[in-house]
C-alpha cells in the first residue's frame, strides 16, 4: 500500500519544506519512482531512504526528471539510491510483468482497469490490444479469462521484448501474441476482421486510430475499449465531452453502436481527466 509521501516525511523534514514535496510516487516491482521539485531535489536521498524504510521490498529509488514524452511514452529518470538498475518484475493480481522503466511505458495505477476489462472477456474471444506497452492488459486478460488469443501490438521494440519475457514468466505461450509495429499497419496487414474485442489504451492516439480498431473487429461486431484524456472546466462533464466526440465520429464512419459504459479512471492534472468508454459495435 502506497502512503502519501508528506505523511512519511512528517517529522523527518522540517514542516516548511514539506509543502515542496509531491505527495505521490510509484512503486514498480522493487523500484520506487518519485518526482522532485527544484526545491525538494536537495532532499532526494532523505526522501528515498524514508520510502525504503516504509517499503522494505524497494531496492532502488529513481527520480523522474521529465514529463512523459515521445511515441514510446518514456520518461527521463535519474538514479537516487539503492541498486543502480531500471529493470524489474512487477506483480499484479497473480501476474508478473517484466518492465524496464527507462525503456518502456508502464503505470501501476491502472490495475483496477486491467481487471475490469479481464472480467468482461468471454471464452474463446480473440482480442487485439493496439497499444500493449509491456503487455500488462494482455497478461491479466490471458491469466484471468479463457480467451483464445490476445494480439499485443507495440511500436517500441523494448516493450515487445518485455512482453516476450512476461509471456514466459506467466506461461501464456500462444495465448498472448506480441507484434512489433505501428498498430495501423499491423492491423491492415495481419489482423483485419479477427477480433471480438479491441483495446486502445493510448489516449493520445485513440481518436485517430479508431477506424483501425473497427477494421480489426469481426464483421459480426464486438467491443472497443476506448481511452482518452479530456479537459473540463467547472460545470462541464468530461465524460459527456468524450462521449459526444466519439459518437459523432462513429456516426460519420457509418457504424451502428452503443456506449453502455463510461467512467473517469483518474484525474491527470488540474481539470484534466482520463476517460474510458466501452463501445459496442454492431454488424
Ligand atoms: C500508454 S502506453 C500503454 C501501455 C499499457 N497498455 C499499460 O497500461 O501500461 C502506450 C504504448 O503505445 C505504444 N505506441 C505508441 N504509438 C503506437 C503505435 N502507433 N502503434 C502501436 N503502439 C504504439 C507506446 O510505445 C506505449 O508502449
In the prediction, which pLDDT does 40 show? 84
Grid cell locating 16: 516548511
CB atoms within 10 A of CB 173: 10
Q: With cut-offs at 50, 70 and 90, classify the pLDDT of residue 55.
A: very high
pLDDT at residue 1 tops 60: no
185: domain CATH number is: 3.40.50.150
Q: What whole-number distance in Å separates Cα of residue 95 and Cα of residue 77?
A: 25
Stretch (H or E) spanning 253:
none
Does residue 119 sit in the same domain as residue 78?
no
Closest ligand 1 atom, residue 106 Cα: 9
The number of distinct structural domains making up the chain is 2
Whether residue 117 is contained in a domain is answered as: yes
d(CA 201, CA 185): 17
Q: Are residues 168 and 119 in the same domain?
A: yes
Same domain flag for 175 and 239:
yes
Residues 78 and 112 in one domain: no
Q: Please tell me whether residues 79 and 110 are part of one structural domain.
A: no
Q: Encode burial over 54-75: b for 16+ CB neighbours within 10 A, e otherwise.
A: ebeebbbbbbbeeeeeeebbbb
Q: 26 CB under 6 A from ligand 1?
A: no
The answer, yes or no, to whether any atom of ligand 1 lies below 6 A from the CB of 186, is no
The answer, yes or no, to whether residue 21 has pLDDT greater than 60, is: yes
Residue 18 has what pLDDT?
83
Residues 244 and 163 in one domain: yes
pLDDT at 11: 82
Residue 182 Cα to ligand 1 midpoint, Å, equals: 9
Task: Note the pLDDT tens digit of each residue in 224-240.
Answer: 999 999 999 999 999 99
Give a yes or no: residue 192 inside a domain. Answer: yes
Domain interval for residue 271 = 104-282
159-210 pLDDT, tens digit per residue, is 999 999 999 999 999 999 999 999 999 999 999 999 999 999 999 999 999 9
Given a cut of 90, whether residue 5 has pLDDT beyond it is: no
Residue that terminates a domain, selected from 53, 85, 117: 85
Amino acid at each position: 500500500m502506497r502512503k502519501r509521501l508528506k505523511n512519511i516525511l512528517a517529522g523527518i523534514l522540517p514542516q516548511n519544506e514539506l509543502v515542496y514535496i509531491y505527495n505521490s510516487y510509484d512503486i514498480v516491482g522493487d523500484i520506487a519512482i518519485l518526482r522532485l521539485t527544484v526545491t525538494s531535489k536537495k532532499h532526494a536521498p532523505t526522501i528515498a531512504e524514508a520510502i525504503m524504510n516504509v517499503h522494505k521490498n524497494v531496492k532502488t529509488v529513481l527520480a523522474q526528471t521529465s514529463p512523459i514524452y515521445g511515441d514510446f511514452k518514456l520518461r527521463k529518470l535519474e538514479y537516487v539510491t539503492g541498486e543502480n538498475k531500471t529493470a524489474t518484475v512487477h506483480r499484479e493480481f497473480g501476474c508478473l510483468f517484466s518492465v524496464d522503466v527507462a525503456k518502456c511505458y508502464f503505470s501501476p495505477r491502472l490495475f483496477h482497469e486491467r481487471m475490469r476489462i479481464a472480467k468482461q472477456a468471454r471464452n474463446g474471444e480473440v482480442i487485439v490490444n493496439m497499444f500493449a506497452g509491456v503487455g500488462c492488459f494482455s497478461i491479466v486478460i490471458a491469466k484471468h479469462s479463457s480467451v483464445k488469443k490476445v494480439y499485443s501490438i507495440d511500436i517500441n521494440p523494448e516493450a515487445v521484448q518485455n512482453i516476450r519475457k512476461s509471456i514466459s514468466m506467466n506461461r501464456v505461450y500462444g495465448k498472448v501474441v506480441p507484434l512489433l509495429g505501428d498498430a495501423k499497419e499491423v492491423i491492415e496487414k495481419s489482423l483485419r476482421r479477427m477480433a471480438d474485442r479491441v483495446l486502445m489504451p493510448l489516449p493520445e492516439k485513440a481518436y485517430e486510430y479508431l477506424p483501425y480498431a473497427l477494421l480489426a473487429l469481426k464483421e459480426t461486431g464486438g467491443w472497443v475499449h476506448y481511452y482518452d484524456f479530456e479537459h473540463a472546466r467547472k460545470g462541464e462533464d468530461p465524460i459527456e465531452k468524450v462521449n459526444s466526440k466519439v459518437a459523432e465520429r462513429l456516426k460519420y464512419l457509418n457504424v451502428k453502436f452503443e456506449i453502455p459504459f463510461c467512467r473517469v479512471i483518474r484525474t491527470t492534472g488540474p481539470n484534466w481527466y482520463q476517460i474510458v468508454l466501452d463501445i459496442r459495435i454492431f454488424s
